[in-house]
Structure 1
């Protein structure tokens, strides 16, 4: 006998009740794998859009490239084919993914080779250093995309997954690294693409195994056994590197976090300032440039002795003192830091502008409500019905403070801009109509402005 809680749990989290027909799912997967015709043209344009967005450091343009990119198709095909024992689907998915990735790198490299803008902005730099969060986003986003992909009703899940699990921008960053000989950028961006592709495919495999989908049937039992071994080998080869990558990213992120905390807490001494910091996980090295007060050898030994407290026992600490020790790597680090600061400040400024604009719009709405007249846009349409020469209309309340104990006078001000001067009689009639339309005891004053 099934307990009520488990029955409720199974009903709530059932994925089969709104699943599309298996034939429809397979048809959608098949359509997304092949890169020819429409898919190939869309891929080409998505490459250029993403390259331009990275080049001009535009987040909106990059998001647009993520939405139109068809790279999810072959990745979904690999995971779906492995889950349903379809050898041909896996083979074609891997082949088309390789073709699409190679084409993306070559076209973006050609673009960055020809463009006069060669500086790496913050959006491009963000794709060169994968973190632990990228692994989690790819896995959970891929699972959400797999569920949305197999539903009867079209939803906004798949476009959202395209934005969250960025595939095109890292490949275009690889092209930038190839065109400008920034091999570290190229390696980091390709690393990020591999993480996203592997974990999206793994998520699709897991979701498809849960769903009641028919598996490919083999006529020969021996062929079926070979196919089963092949499919599970592909699944393991997909999962093991992904887990290994995830573990490596966790270790890297932990080391970098501990090193950053160590520098912030132990080397920001009174009179001494950290100019740049270079944290290299592969070499287990922390390289810091200090300026200001010179630290003595005894102080440096005391600082190094504190490495164990931050779980950095095997880390090598190099402290350079004085701006005379500034090198090209420091200059690049300073530039990256300045770009990040500028981007952060721009985001904060835009957020404050949006908040202020919302306050002003709310204030204008409140003032319009207190006048007894409709919103300016609505009132403009009503006025234009009788006075077609009116082109713009503004609405506000004017408070005139009074001396001594008299109450302040309040008037409603309606400002109009017309294409032709408004005759005095027509203006008087309009004022009387506005007064009646307001339905309050507040007088209405009309301000007229002719054409410029």
Structure 2
């Protein structure tokens, strides 16, 4: 019983069934490595598109730059060359990747030196602080891209990987940091780019090792052994820094998460309010400004003793009490928090207004349609076009004339139309009479001609 199940499982996860011809895979890898001709022009345009997208904070434009960017080519070449023991492929992949990365940073820096928009938007800031998820996305996305790259049928896997594992935006963010002397932006963006490159190459290496691909042939066994050691050394050197970066990111993210939980649970005491919190994972410090009821030394010792319950045994907790302890960093953090809250509330309020307005407009249309026994505007437009083909747009509404004392309010159905040319008076009269009959003669109908298209 277990044997058939294992055969079935192997057939389901077999990657060799629809694998492309090895010669075609190698040709595709070779074509994607070199940056000349088409690849070079596409790279330059992708740099400019990504720079503009980051500059105007447009997600759609940045996604477009990710799709057309050819940076995946040399990264795939490095991983594929290491897996198939092709030293020349690895060397050319690293060389062209370095050239492309340097060109991307310089061109984007040149763009940001001349653009009048110098404010860093959210899309740009998102590329300056890598997180644990960036490591996972690069590894899993790179594996998916490696599988899609080696298939016979062209799929949308590789473009999807280009979007998921952002390569061009971090380089353009580094160019922004270089142009504006924001060195932390430059370091953070290059840090993110190195993470993506290392883990995509590692994923390509692992997938290619699982596939039945021919390896490079050597003259003698000693040369083969030396090359094998060299390739495995390159693979280890590629993996070890990535693992170190991943572990560092995990520690920082875990520290920040635990510190947030600690502050929310232990320092939001009755009568006390957390004004600002500054959590620095690299230094292992938690700096909190409290206002309201003052905490005693005993209470502070009790709070510090609870650090170990949140896996923060070595963290240094600083609690400042009273607004007199407010410093410039607190003021900036408080201002940023207030602006963010205000922006979020404004967006929620605006969304609520828009939803309510849409409901009221729909209700008015439904009431006018019901009262006049007229169909929905799109249905009525088709009926009108049967006799008046020049009519292109139609709107339906209800006009109520308020009355006083015991007089009853009068309601008029208003039908507004737009045509490609002015309608003759006779045609307007005929259309008005038809609408009145179509409305069931319960309510008067007024026809408005809203100009010509």
Q: TM (normalized to structure 1)?
A: 0.83
Q: Give the match's secondary structure for 1:451.
A: strand
Closer, same or farther: CA 109–420 of 1 in aligned 2, 3 Å = closer
Cross-structure match for 1:391 = 392
Equivalence map 1:355-370=2 (5 Å): none
| Post-superposition offset of 1:229 | 1.0
> Structure 2 matches for 1:157-168, cutoff 5 A?
157-168=157-168
C-alpha distance after superposition, 1:204-231 (max 9, x if no partner): 1111111222222223322221211111
**1: CA distance, partners of 2:444 / 2:366:** 17
Aligned length: 442
1:179-218 alignment runs, 5 A limit: 179-218=179-218
The equivalent of 2:297 in structure 1 is: 297
Q: 1:381: how far off?
A: 6.4
Looking at structure 2, the residues matched to 20 and 7 of structure 1 have their Cα atoms a distance apart, in angstroms, of: 23
Unmatched 5+ stretches in structure 2: 401-410
> What is the TM-score when the length of structure 2 is the normalising length?
0.83
Moved more, 199-208 or 53-62: 53-62
Q: Distance in 2 between matches of 1:154 and 1:346?
A: 45
Corresponding residue number in structure 2 for 1:406: none
Deviates more, 1:178-187 or 1:197-206: 178-187
Secondary structure of 1:249 counterpart:
helix
CA-atom RMSD, angstroms?
A: 3.7
Q: Distance in 2 between matches of 1:183 and 1:166?
A: 20
Distance 1:232 1:242 in 2: 15
Contact 2:364–2:398 at 8 Å: present in 1 too? Answer: no
Within-5 A mapping of 1:260-409: 260-334=260-334, 336-337=336-337, 341=341, 376=378, 380=381, 383-384=384-385, 386-394=387-395
Residue 417 of structure 1 is matched in structure 2 by 418
Residues 411 and 442 in structure 1, CA contact (< 8 A), matched pair in contact too:
no
Per-residue CA distance 1:154-208 (angstroms, 9 max, x = gap): 2221121111111122222222222333333322222211111111111111111
Do the aligned partners of 1:368 and 1:374 also contact (CA within 8 Å) in 2?
no
Q: Find the counterpart in structure 2 of residue 29 from structure 1.
A: 29
Deviations, residues 98-156 of structure 1 (Å, cap 9, x unaligned)? 11112222222233333333332222222222211111111111111111111222222
Corresponding residue SS for 2:451: coil
Deviations 1:311-357 (A, max 9, x none): 11111112233444444433443455456556756776787689779
Q: Secondary structure at the match of 1:394?
A: strand
1:10/1:186 Cα in 2 relative to 1: closer, same or farther (>3 Å)? same
Instruction: Work out the CA distance in 1 between the residues paired with 2:267 and 2:232.
Output: 51
Find the aligned partners of 1:84 and 1:216 in 2 and give their Cα distance.
Answer: 6
Matched position secondary structure for 1:3: helix
Q: Which segment drifts farther, 241-250 or 139-148?
A: 241-250
For the residue of structure 2 that corresponds to 1:261, the secondary structure is helix
Superposed displacement of residue 276, structure 1? 2.1
Shift of 1:271: 3.3
* Cα distance in structure 2, aligned partners of 1:326 and 1:258: 24
Distance across 1 between alignment mates of 2:217 and 2:177:
45
1:222 & 1:346 partners in 2: Cα distance?
Answer: 70
